[in-house]
Amino acid sequence: MISIITAIFNQLNINKLFWESIKKYTHHPFELLIIDNGSTDGSVDFFKSIGAKVVLNGANYSYPYCQNKGIELAQYDYLAFLNNDIIVSPKWDLRLIENMKVNNLQIATVCGIENIENKNATRRLKNRWKLYRNLLKVFGHSQLNLRLSHKLMYGDWEGFCNNRYRRFKGQIKEGFVGSAILMKKDALDKIGLWDERIQAADYDLYLRSKKRSIEYKDIKPTNICLDVYVHHFIRITLSANPPEFKDKERLISLEEKWDKDSLRYLQNIDD
C-alpha cells in the first residue's frame, strides 16, 4: 500500500492528466493525499470527486511544508512524494519498490528528463524536450497540447518506459530527481521530516540522507532508479503565477544551512 502526497495550485488540465496516469499505471492499492495551496479553478472539486483526501491550506505554502502535511495523514509504509505535473510510467511503484529492495534503499527517486544514466544521455534528452516544450509556451497548456507534446517527445510512451526497464533493471546511481520520490516511512526515524525552511527540499533531503549514511551507516544516500522513468513537464505550476509563499519569512537557502565545505563534500555525486 502506498500513500501518494501531492501539492497543487490550480492547473486543472495537468491535474487531470496526472490523475489519469496515476490511476492507469499504479500497481499497488494507494491513497491520494492532495495538499491544496489555494486553488480557484475547480482542481479541489475534481480531486474530491475522484476520492482523494484533500487538505486545504488556504494559502500558498512551500513545498516541504506541504509534504509534511501529507505525512501527518499518510496511512501506509511507502510515501510517494509526486509533483502534479508528471506522467508516471507503467507499474512505476512496483518497479521502484523492487529496485529499492534489490539495492537496500529506503529513499529512491525515478529518472527523468533532469537526470538519466549519464551526462551525455541527459543532455540529449533535455535538448529534445526543449523543442517540444516550446509548443506549450506558444500554444498554451490545454490538455490537447500537453498530450501532443508528450506524444511527440516519446512516441510510444509505454514502449519507451518498458524498454528502459529492460535495459536498466535494478540499476541505480547516487543522486535525485525531485519530481517523484519514494520513501519508506521508517526512514523518517533516521533523517526526520522535510526541513520546512528549505524550498529546495529535495536537494536538502539528498544531502541529509548522504550525511546520515556517512555518519551512521544505517541508510544509503538517495539514489536514482534508472529502470523507472517519469515524464516531468517542468515548471508548469510556476507558469500559473502562484502567490508568494505564506511561510516565506522562515525560508532560507541551502547555503545558509550547509557550510561550503559540507556542500563540496556531500555534493560529490558520480554521473
pTM exceeds 0.85, yes or no: yes
Give residue 264's Cα distance to chain centre: 24
Chain length of the chain: 271
Measured distance CA(59)–CA(39) in Å, rounded: 9
- In angstroms, the CA 190 to CA 77 distance is 15
Pick the closest to residue 6 from 27, 43, 32 (CA basis).
32
pLDDT (tens digit per residue) in 246-258? 999 999 999 999 9
Quote the DSSP letter at residue 260.
H
Q: What is the per-residue pLDDT for 267?
A: 78
Output the tens digit of pLDDT for each of the chain's 271 residues. Answer: 999 999 999 999 999 999 999 999 999 999 999 999 999 999 999 999 999 999 999 999 999 999 999 999 999 999 999 999 999 999 999 999 999 999 999 999 999 999 999 999 999 999 999 999 888 888 888 999 999 999 999 999 999 999 999 999 999 999 999 999 999 999 999 999 999 999 999 999 999 999 999 999 999 999 999 999 999 999 877 766 789 999 999 999 999 999 888 888 887 654 4
Convert the pLDDT of each residue in 201-212 to its tens digit.
999 999 999 999
Closest CA to 214 of 262, 156, 271, 258: 262
Q: What number of other Cβ atoms are within 10 A of residue 86's Cβ? A: 24
Residue 92's CB: how many other CB atoms inside 10 A? Answer: 27
pLDDT in tens, 211-228: 999 999 999 999 999 999
Q: Exposed, middle or buried: residue 79 (CB in 10 Å: 0-12, 13-18, 19+)?
A: buried
What pLDDT does residue 269 have? Answer: 52
DSSP state of 175: S
The whole-number pLDDT of residue 271 equals: 44
* Matching residue, cell 512496483: 94
Q: If we measure between CA atoms, which residue out of 199, 207, 188, 231 comes closest to residue 79?
A: 188
Across 51-149, the runs of DSSP E, i.e. the strands, are: 53-56, 78-82, 86-87, 107-111
Q: Interhelix angle for 143-154 vs 12-25, to 10°?
A: 50
* Max Cα–Cα distance, the chain, nearest Å: 51
What is the C-alpha separation between 195 and 206, in angstroms, rounded?
A: 12
Element of type H or E holding 189: helix 188-191
- Cell triple for 130: 526543449
Which cell numbers hold the place of 55? 487538505
Task: Report d(CA 241, CA 235) in Å as an integer.
Answer: 11
CATH 3.40.50.300 for the 2-264 domain, yes or no = no
Which triple of cell numbers denotes residue 62? 512551500
The residue extents of the domains of the chain are 2-264
Helices (H) and strands (E) in the chain, counts: 11, 10
